Structure 1
Amino acid sequence: MADENTILTKIPDELTLQIAALLRNGLGGQPTTTNSENLSLGIKLEGDNYALWATLMKKAIGGRGRSSHITGEPSPPSKDDTAFAKWEQDDQCVFTWLIQNIDASLVNNVSQYPTAKTLWDGLAVTYGSETDSLHVFDLHKRANSLRQGGDTLEDCWNKLQKIWMTIDRRDPNPMKYAEDIQIYNNKVQEQRLYQLLTTIDDKLEPIKRDILKKDPLPSVEAAYAMIRREVARLNILKPSTTEINRPI
């Protein structure tokens, strides 16, 4: 099992960009508070966003000089040491910060840990594991069952992208040689193309068929661009309400 540092070093470029965006925008418009008893990142751990959350959380705790309570270095003082009472108070504070930044639906599963370090390690094992087969299965299930419904095309694309990014992080390409890596990536692209076409509205069946007739099949990004152009064309050609109601 990879340790927490190994997990964090594998954050993909997309997550790095998300971190930069959050920092530019003041952590989602909710800057870290100055009250020593409270700390808000502006985002909460929801499971899929562990890598981003852990990176920001580690920086926020480190910024308040409490990194040792999640890294374990240096080791805490013994219980008979006069410094233990102060260490325990600080540890409870860090524990509270962690809980404050975890989604309410997950709190009951993690609140039983005795120290901030054991809580931090438990979160890394539960949500940072790259070999969590059940979670990977759930992600694939969500991608396959996603439907546009009342969402915009862009909303659907963003939801799929988020799921795919998490799958890539938790279930990376297992191939060793360049040719095999490319073959695997091509199959993944094909699968994601089918997921995109399944997700979007049935009213776009004509453009779906056009995409599937292409040989070779386009990448999922190219297919999305084609669909966007078609949606834009249909919106331009759509008659206005005035035209619809105009008497013949």
Structure 2
Amino acid sequence: MASPSKQEKKEKTEVADQEHLRVLASDNPGASLVKNLLDGMNFLSWNRSVKIALGAKMKLGFINRKNPKPSKTADEYEQWTRADCLVFSWLLNSISKDIVESFRYINTARELWLELEARYGTSNGPMIYQLQREIASATQGTLTVLAYFGKLKKLSDELSCLVSIPSCRCGASKETADLPVADNLMQFLVGLNDSFDHVRN
């Protein structure tokens, strides 16, 4: 089998470079990217779900600056505008109707994303407080051990996204990173029902 020519390689590279601009017939602008719409209180989990969905559709670059708006004279300007409108529409459809109206007149998906981050994503203090409070008060109750573990894991994962641990090259960095793991284990044990006293001891 003959190896591909330089021209064929160049064409494949150009197609791959333009993949983010493709809009498929199945790309419905009326669709929502996520099941749980942004309501102002769930930005962290909503943000992550939207990024995963856009990444799967090869459209993440429209919100993270990897696919910047080309000049109006560029060949791909019309294609870029069409794809950006699609992403913009998906984002709007992923926001609760109670808050979406204040975002309708923003121009691009990137500008909308920055506005959402500024409004709902920068004030981590109250979110950190709420998560730590939920973790501290979590108990097994009527949950199965597996469901209780899943609940605590979700809360601690959300918290770790908000609280960054400084890194260094010394051994202290690893020890510092291990602290939340030990805390999570202790909280899990504390919240277990009394029937698990033998596990705690």
TM range, smaller chain: 0.5 to 0.7
Q: CA deviation at 1:43?
A: 3.7
How many pairs are equivalent?
165
TM-score with structure 2 setting the length: 0.62
Does structure 2 retain, via aligned residues, the 8 Å contact 1:61–1:94? no
Does structure 2 retain, via aligned residues, the 8 Å contact 1:33–1:40? no
Call closer, same or farther: CA 1:58–1:126 in 2, change over 3 Å: farther
1:75-132 CA distances to partner (integer Å, 9 max, x unpaired)? 575xxxxx99xx5x87655433112223x3xx54454122333221123345555x82
The aligned counterpart of 1:6 is none
Q: Could you list the runs of 5+ residues in structure 1 that have no partner in the other structure?
A: 1-31, 78-82, 211-248
Does structure 2 retain, via aligned residues, the 8 Å contact 1:69–1:91? no
Q: CA deviation at 1:154?
A: 0.6
Does structure 1 retain, via aligned residues, the 8 Å contact 2:34–2:53? no
Q: CA deviation at 1:69?
A: 7.7
Correspondence 1:112 to 2:102: yes
**Partner Cα separation in structure 2 for residue 39 and residue 61 of structure 1:** 16
What is the RMSD of the two structures over their aligned residues, measured on CA atoms? 3.6
The aligned counterpart of 1:121 is 114
Once superposed, which parts of structure 1, at least 4 consecutive aligned residues long, lie more than 4 Å away?
Answer: 67-72, 89-93, 126-129
Q: Could you list the runs of 5+ residues in structure 2 that have no partner in the other structure?
A: 1-23
Call closer, same or farther: CA 1:195–1:69 in 2, change over 3 Å: closer
Q: CA deviation at 1:163?
A: 1.6
Does structure 1 retain, via aligned residues, the 8 Å contact 2:64–2:110? yes
Residue type at the aligned position of 1:123: L
Correspondence 1:178 to 2:170: yes
Pick aligned residue for 1:98 from 91, 103, 113: 91
The aligned counterpart of 2:150 is 158
Q: CA deviation at 1:182?
A: 3.2
TM-score with structure 1 setting the length: 0.52
